[in-house]
């Protein structure tokens, strides 16, 4: 069987860790304050949802797609370049905490950046 990014990053424990570190970073980084405020006060549920989403997106079990069929993509949040960069900053920080190979992590981050930029729905210049 071919290796998926899910497996290469370390499987379920690693993807859970990634989602946790991501929202911890969003909670802590002053640079991410703006997107942190777009979220509810508690990040507990969304940590689980991001884990479930990323599990399927990275080639592991499709936990999220089994339960829900949308992400914030379909919701009316104002996302411009500044917001997607803040999101990526948190994800880069979270990714640094995983023990996987740097090449794998960089490749996944690149694909995530494309997704985050695809979600931009506001013109910024």
Element at 47 (helix H, strand E): helix 44-57
**Closest listed residue to residue 15, CA positions, set 66, 71, 58:** 58
Contact 94, 22 (CB under 8 A): yes
Report the residue closest to ligand HEM, judged by CB: 72
Pattern 101-120, ligand HEM, x by CB under 6 A: --------------xx--x-
Is residue 84 near ligand HEM by the rule CB under 6 A? yes
119 phi/psi in degrees, rounded to 5 = -80, -5
Contact set for ligand HEM, span 21-80 (CB under 6 A): 35, 38-40, 46, 49-50, 53, 68, 71-72, 77, 79
Is residue 18 near ligand HEM by the rule CB under 6 A? no
Nearest approach in angstroms of CB 123 to ligand HEM is 15
Residues that bind ligand HEM (CB under 6 A): 35, 38-40, 46, 49-50, 53, 68, 71-72, 77, 79, 83-84, 87, 115-116, 119
């Amino acid at each position: 069987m071919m290796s998926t990014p899910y497996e290469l990053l370390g499987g379920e424990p690693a993807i859970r860790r990634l989602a946790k570190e991501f929202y911890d970073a969003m909670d802590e980084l002053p640079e991410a304050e703006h997107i942190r405020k777009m979220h509810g006060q508690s990040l507990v549920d969304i940590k689980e949802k991001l884990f479930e989403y990323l599990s399927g997106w990275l080639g592991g079990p499709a936990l999220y797609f089994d339960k829900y069929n949308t992400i914030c993509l379909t919701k009316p949040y104002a996302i411009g370049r500044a917001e997607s960069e803040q999101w990526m900053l948190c994800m880069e920080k979270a990714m640094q905490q995983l023990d996987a190979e740097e090449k794998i992590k960089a490749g996944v981050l690149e694909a995530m950046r494309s997704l985050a930029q695809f979600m931009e729905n506001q013109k910024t210049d």
